[in-house]
Amino acid sequence: MIYRTCFENRFSAASAATVFEPACIAQLIQVGLLRRQQAWLEFRAPPCPIPDFRITFGIKRLIMSFLLCGVGLSAYSRPDQVSIYAGAFDLLRDWHRTFEMGVEYKFAQSWSGPIHFLEFRPLLGIMANAQKSTYLYGGINFDLYPADWLVIAPGFALGWYHQAEGKNLGFPVEFRTSIEMSWQFPNSSRLGVRFYHLSNANFSSRNPGEESLVLIYDIPVKWRCICD
């Protein structure tokens, strides 16, 4: 081949002029380019690291197991409660403002997962006022514990209202929304205040509603099984 002849002639003093011939120089350049191209094609980049999807899958499986199995409703260490309350019925209006009192039973339920400061308390209760109106209801409180001694409890209930000589609320079915703030003592009893609103949610054309502010005291109840 010509490039081999040129290469050999580079070391031959007798044919030194041949190396500098245009055809020979062009062939040497072509050989250099071919070798550079071959070296580039043979280059292999180091393999990219492949993420270990087994680890990711393991984390996902752990999270799903935690959510599906670790979080649920279960009986908690805090006891049930009997609540007694008294205060002002229809606080914001003079015409039907009167005294009211009531009693509730609150069942202790809680998250068994990561939210240890939240408790669900299903409840049943009855309220009566000095004008012989009564309200029989059931609902749920969401007990939040910003501190061991402080409880903030928004709640919701649905019940049946009997007017008697009291205020006409427009419909017998009434919804109660409430907020409660209490001091909790070491024995799980509580003393606090509750503000709540009664409304029929416009199921009737007449929906005056009413607001109450009461003082509430919660008494812990611990049940024991007596076996033979």
Q: What is the DSSP string of 19-75?
A: HTSHHHHHHHHHHHHHHHHHHHHH--PPPPPPP-HHHHHHHHHHHHHIIIII--EE-
Give me the chain's average pLDDT, please.
77
User: Has residue 92 been placed in a domain?
Assistant: yes
Residues 140 and 205 in one domain: yes
Q: Is the pLDDT of residue 161 over 50?
A: yes
Residues 110 and 22 in one domain: no
- Number of residues that make up the chain: 228
Q: Is the pLDDT of residue 10 over 70?
A: no
Residues 136 and 89 in one domain: yes
User: Has residue 191 been placed in a domain?
Assistant: yes
pTM: 0.64
Q: Please state the domain count of the chain.
A: 2
> What value does the mean pLDDT take over residues 83-98?
94
- Which is more confident, 33 or 173? 173
- Which is more confident, 79 or 18? 79
Contacts of 73 (CB under 8 A, 6+ apart): 109, 110, 111, 112, 120
Residues 37 and 107 in one domain: no
- Which is more confident, 45 or 119? 119
Q: Is the pLDDT of residue 52 over 90?
A: no
Q: What distances in angstroms separate CA 131 from CA 5, 58, 96, 97, 208, one per listed residue?
A: 124, 64, 9, 10, 17
Residues 35 and 96 in one domain: no
Residues 37 and 78 in one domain: no
Cβ–Cβ under 8 Å, residues 198 and 175: yes
pLDDT digits (tens, 9 = 90+) for 105-131: 999 876 655 566 788 899 999 999 999
- Which is more confident, 128 or 5? 128
What is the domain range of residue 12? 2-42
Q: How big is the CA angle at 70 (ends 65 and 76), to the nearest 5 degrees?
A: 175
Give 132's pLDDT tier (boundaries 50, 70, 90).
Answer: very high
Residues 190 and 79 in one domain: yes
User: Has residue 48 been placed in a domain?
Assistant: no
Contacts of 185 (CB under 8 A, 6+ apart): 149, 191
Residues 7 and 110 in one domain: no
Q: How far is the first Cα of the chain from the last one, in angstroms, to the nearest whole number? A: 112
User: Has residue 50 been placed in a domain?
Assistant: no
User: Has residue 64 been placed in a domain?
Assistant: no
Ranking 47-51, 78-82, 91-95, 175-179 by mean pLDDT, the lowest is: 47-51
User: Has residue 60 been placed in a domain?
Assistant: no
What angle, rounded to 10 degrees, do the helices at 22-42 and 2-9 form? 110
Ranking 38-47, 50-59, 134-143, 152-161 by mean pLDDT, the lowest is: 50-59
Cβ–Cβ under 8 Å, residues 138 and 155: no
Q: Is the pLDDT of residue 4 over 60?
A: no
Residues 110 and 38 in one domain: no
User: Has residue 196 been placed in a domain?
Assistant: yes
Residue that has been written with the tokens 């501190």 in this structure: 147
Residues 127 and 180 in one domain: yes
Residues 146 and 36 in one domain: no
Residue 163: give its domain's CATH number. Answer: 2.40.160.20
pLDDT digits (tens, 9 = 90+) for 183-224: 999 999 999 999 999 999 999 899 999 999 999 999 999 876
Residue that has been written with the tokens 């969401």 in this structure: 142
Give 48's pLDDT tier (boundaries 50, 70, 90).
Answer: very low
User: Has residue 65 been placed in a domain?
Assistant: no
Amino acid 164 reads A
Residues 123 and 37 in one domain: no
